[in-house]
Structure 1
Amino acid sequence: MLLGLMFSYSGSSVVEGAVPTLVAVGMLSPAWIALYTTFSRVISACAYVMARLLGPYSPYRVLLICEVYDMVITILALWLLYEGSLSTSIVLITYIILTSVIPVITSIANGTYAGALLLESERTAVSFNALSLSFLTLATLVIGRPLGSWLIDDSITLVLGINLAMTLVSFVCRWAAMKRDTVLTTGQPRQALEGSDASRLNLLEGLRYFRGRIFCLSASSPMTTPLVYLSMGLFLYYIPLWLAAGADNKSGIVAVAGVFGGLGSMVGPLLFYALKHLGRYRRHVTVALFIVAIDELITLVMVLVYGNDLSLPVLCVYMLLNFLLYLAAAYCNVANLCARQKRFAGRRYPDMVGIAFSLASLFMLAGTWSGYLLRADSDPTWALVLAATIALLAAMGMALKKRRRPPGAPH
């Protein structure tokens, strides 16, 4: 299952990684990046509805259909490029739009699978969450996108061909995993997932049911990680651009920031898996939120004192802060995910997967556009002030809520 996940996301990321290079060489308009980001976030915001539609079906079946759909669209795009009746940019844009729904569906299916794992073993579910999030970062930020940026200079056809090959390998891995699976094909966990005492609700009833749980800040709340995304989105994409403004090698600065962020995102879930036994989920989430807030405050001080001075010591500090920020965010994400699986285990969990994914997308989109309006690429000061305030309030809310909870109260 994990191997299929890695190949699937690697293939998609190869194409995504090619887009910035095509913008740089003038094949695509720079506005395409902003428009596609908004479009993909809107698609992700529909995850709750998608989760309700996909909930009754086996995650394996959903994932296999996604892989087949991706292969069909890729083959069609390759044929259109070979036939030559449409321009390369039109084919590529259409391909990206048609496949933009795949990551959302894949994330929902993997989340549902992890929820079924928890009914068998919480330790197994935590291990799957940590490894899948770490593998996902490896597939996208370390392998897929750099490979796409590098290969697009040779041929768009080669990029799509690699995606097709990786998708085929992913299909084979998922098919083999489905044949060996004992969690969703037989046994008590699948029966418990389907026969939970929590009956399935229609769309409006589901929204009313989850309303009180959505806006209650806790370790299992679907609001927790989106608040981190809202905070980070205010400056995440703009700090590297601001740093690179005064550098000769602008692409190098942006690339290094991306590498350090990717490494942090890989280490965070693995670190949580190693430290999970040290406390309950609430403690892990609270500490991670405080680290995010402190990291943003230190970054704010660095901006005020040193600006975008790119001397080696200052640059190293900026990159270290970037690494720690991604690490803490990924740590918070996996702790929040595990707590949510435990709290909402059962038939309603697919709905919660969709709600959490929708909120994360909307909050990240809100943060990104707010950072743009604050002109964080020219001066990230106010974006960092607002970001640190959001993270600090969320961390304090978690900490104070723990103090108010009476002794012996359930998690």
Structure 2
Amino acid sequence: MKFLKLKIFGKPHVLMFFGLMLSYSGSSVIEGAIPTLVAVGMLSPIWIPLYTTFSRAINASAYVVARLIGHYSPYRVLLICEVYDMVITVLVILLLYEGSLSTLVVLMTYFILASFIPVITNIANGTYAGAISLKSESTAVTFNAFSLSLLTLATLVIGRPLGSLLVNYSIYLVLIVNLVMTAASFFFRWAAMKRDTMFPTGRNQYALNNNVSRLNLVEGIRYFGGQIFRLSASSPITTPLVYLSMGLFFYYLPLWLAEGSDRKGEIVAMAGVFGGLGSMIGPLLFFALKERCRYRRHVTIAILVVAIDEIMLIGMVWRYGNALSIPVLCAYMALILLLYLAASYCNVANLTARQKRYAGKRYPDMVGIAFSMASLAMLVGTWSGYMLDASSHPMVALILGAVIALLVTAGLWLKTTGKTDT
């Protein structure tokens, strides 16, 4: 296609970015269809917590997956994943059309088979970004900021709402849209691979040639076991602690707010939109301010904002409850936007610092560990919020979340860091 010959579209990382957007959009269309399938009775309500727990458990295995695929070219891994996604989608369409198997069995099997894709693609995408950082830190920062920001657009604003809408007409439409987006993603990733020189042999040359030796599994557990709990700008535990803090209430706060309104669906949707906007703005704000200070200060300030935001939410819940006048509703939505903005800002700053510190052979393992920790933190936070009955009484969950964020902020603020923890 002629537009690929233009200079900007010929750059591998730009093509990879479009592939990333399309891939995540397709997966989000499927994810967005699940709640509607539950609502219309095609899936049992128990499927949502069970599927969430299952997918998080798979994601928690990311370190082991990273050990297996980290030395391969991320292009090869991603292209294989796209082919796998297309094959199982086509098979599901054929099985549903043929009709000999129960629709419920076919869909549940498909969702389970598709749930293995994100952990692999996240590691491969992270490895690719790590290779970019070795070549150009500024390009890596740009890739991180814009990919994290616009992925929110692709998933929360486009993919999931589209899935919820299309499934009302036909499950075939959902599957076909995912198939088309996955095929387009394959094309962009393949075009990027043909133009890239970082992985000429199909292996991760940047990781293989770096002078930092790769650790075996036992050595890796010992080394990274010491790194995980050393709180710093580049630590793989920093952002997961923020997720733990927020996970205690952010799924449940919109439900609690909706209890005080006659327009429950609109309140939940509004909270999702404002949260999505915050997640989009955060990485772009970091990109604009990245030169102002060291990564440690970026991360510390972002987590402090999360803590302050949670404290303000505590005050709002105590003072106004969920009796939502227009000003009170606007205040809640503003705090939700700010909370997601600060969390996404922290995430991209933490990611960039980690790419710089653990560049080379150890980085794929670090991607796996960070992904595992984030999944576990979200799982613990979500179930803890459920046990605290945060959807009916969010105060305890908010207080606990604020305490966690304040402790992380204090730990970062007081910590003496080395030169590598920028």
**Aligned pair 1:114/2:126, yes or no?**
no
1:95 corresponds to: 110
Q: What SS does the corresponding residue of 2:290 show, helix, strand or coil? A: helix
Kindly provide the amino acid, as one letter, of the partner of residue 399 in structure 1: W
2:394 corresponds to: 380
1:126 corresponds to: 141
2:166 corresponds to: 151
User: Over residues 148-203 of structure 1, what are the superposed CA-to-partner deviations in whole Å (9 max), with x where a residue is unaligned?
Assistant: 001111000110011000000000010011111133338xx964421222222222
CA distance in 1, matches of 2:100, 2:335: 49
1:162-241 equivalences under 5 Å are 162-185=177-200, 191-241=205-255
2:27 corresponds to: 12
Contact 1:15-1:148 at 8 Å conserved across structures: yes
Kindly provide the amino acid, as one letter, of the partner of residue 306 in structure 2: V
1:264-283 equivalences under 5 Å are 264-283=278-297
Q: What SS does the corresponding residue of 1:163 show, helix, strand or coil? A: helix
What is the TM-score with the length of structure 2 in the denominator? 0.94
1:71-90 equivalences under 5 Å are 71-90=86-105
Shift of 1:29: 1.2
CA distance in 2, matches of 1:44, 1:405: 30
Which consecutive residues of structure 1, in runs of 5 or more, have no partner in the other structure? Answer: none
CA distance in 1, matches of 2:343, 2:301: 11
Shift of 1:405: 5.3
1:312-327 equivalences under 5 Å are 312-327=326-341
1:284 corresponds to: 298
Q: What SS does the corresponding residue of 1:358 show, helix, strand or coil? A: helix
Q: What SS does the corresponding residue of 2:291 show, helix, strand or coil? A: helix
CA, structure 1 residues 282+204, in 2 after alignment: closer, same or farther (shift >3 Å)?
Answer: same
1:60-79 equivalences under 5 Å are 60-79=75-94
1:348 corresponds to: 362
What is the TM-score with the length of structure 1 in the denominator? 0.96
User: Over residues 364-384 of structure 1, what are the superposed CA-to-partner deviations in whole Å (9 max), with x where a residue is unaligned?
Assistant: 100000000000000100000
- Aligned identity (percent) is 71
| Counterpart pick for 1:263 among 259, 272, 277 | 277
CA, structure 1 residues 123+405, in 2 after alignment: closer, same or farther (shift >3 Å)?
Answer: closer
CA, structure 1 residues 67+320, in 2 after alignment: closer, same or farther (shift >3 Å)?
Answer: same
Q: How many residues end up aligned between the 2 structures?
A: 406
Contact 1:2-1:135 at 8 Å conserved across structures: no
Shift of 1:26: 1.7
Which consecutive residues of structure 2, in runs of 5 or more, have no partner in the other structure? Answer: 1-15
CA distance in 1, matches of 2:104, 2:92: 11
2:324 corresponds to: 310
**Aligned pair 1:365/2:379, yes or no?**
yes
Shift of 1:250: 1.2
Kindly provide the amino acid, as one letter, of the partner of residue 119 in structure 1: L
Q: CA RMSD in A?
A: 1.4
Kindly provide the amino acid, as one letter, of the partner of residue 138 in structure 2: R
Kindly provide the amino acid, as one letter, of the partner of residue 323 in structure 1: L
Kindly provide the amino acid, as one letter, of the partner of residue 125 in structure 1: A
Kindly provide the amino acid, as one letter, of the partner of residue 364 in structure 1: M
Contact 1:116-1:184 at 8 Å conserved across structures: no
1:336 corresponds to: 350
1:300 corresponds to: 314
Shift of 1:249: 1.7
CA distance in 2, matches of 1:6, 1:155: 24
Contact 1:220-1:340 at 8 Å conserved across structures: yes
Contact 1:272-1:335 at 8 Å conserved across structures: yes
Shift of 1:233: 0.3
CA distance in 1, matches of 2:317, 2:204: 52
Q: What SS does the corresponding residue of 1:242 show, helix, strand or coil? A: helix
CA distance in 1, matches of 2:420, 2:228: 20
CA distance in 1, matches of 2:33, 2:177: 12
User: Over residues 277-333 of structure 1, what are the superposed CA-to-partner deviations in whole Å (9 max), with x where a residue is unaligned?
Assistant: 000100100000000000000001100100001111101111111111111000000
Structure 1 ranges of 4+ moved more than 4 A: 189-192
| Counterpart pick for 1:247 among 255, 258, 261 | 261
Kindly provide the amino acid, as one letter, of the partner of residue 344 in structure 1: Y
CA distance in 2, matches of 1:12, 1:87: 23
